Amino acid sequence: MRVGITGHRGLTGQSASLVKAAILDTVTTFPAEELIGVSCIADGPDAWFAEAILEHGGHLEVVIPSEDYRDALPEWHHLTYDALLNRASEVHATGLAHSNSQAHMTGSEILVGLVDQVIAVWDGQPARGYGGTADVVRYAESNGVTVQILWPAGATRD
């Protein structure tokens, strides 16, 4: 089973804890020996999902939206990003140079094309910019990829 992740970044406090737990609960429903998780490993749900995949015994594949993607992520996330990237069994790149909304959507389109199912950490609201979670959900659904929405009761988004 190949499973991808998309989700809102910037979750903090109780929302982050609730989402992390929901991701772990969901990941552990898949047989580890058959599980391949695909993620862009950004801070938040992408990284939490990748960590849960590896903790569960699955394999990780990473999609890199742009050449400067890592530098566009928060500096405090770089160590986690590097550690996850080093554990990836395969890396897919868009070939785009700059981290922007187009690169993020292109990375998500590649991710969707690689998986059987997408887990979406999504509050159900429209995307706040092109390439946001709502856009990825819509793209996955329009391409016949199953989407599982995770938005735990009590979670909020700033």
- Within a domain: residue 158? no
Number of helices and strands (H, E) in the chain? 6, 6
CATH number, residue 126: 3.40.50.450
- Which of 38, 44, 57 is closest to 111 using CA atoms? 38
- Phi then psi for 62, rounded to 5 degrees? -120, 140
What DSSP element (H or E) covers 59? strand 59-64
Which of these, 52, 30, 57, 25, lies nearest to 39 by C-alpha position?
Answer: 52
Radius of gyration (C-alpha) of the chain in whole angstroms: 14
* Per-residue model confidence as pLDDT tens for the chain (158 residues): 999 999 999 999 999 999 999 999 999 999 999 999 999 999 999 999 999 999 999 999 999 999 999 999 999 999 999 999 999 999 999 999 999 999 999 999 999 999 999 999 999 998 888 999 999 999 999 999 999 999 999 999 97
Domain of 78 in residue numbering reads as: 2-150
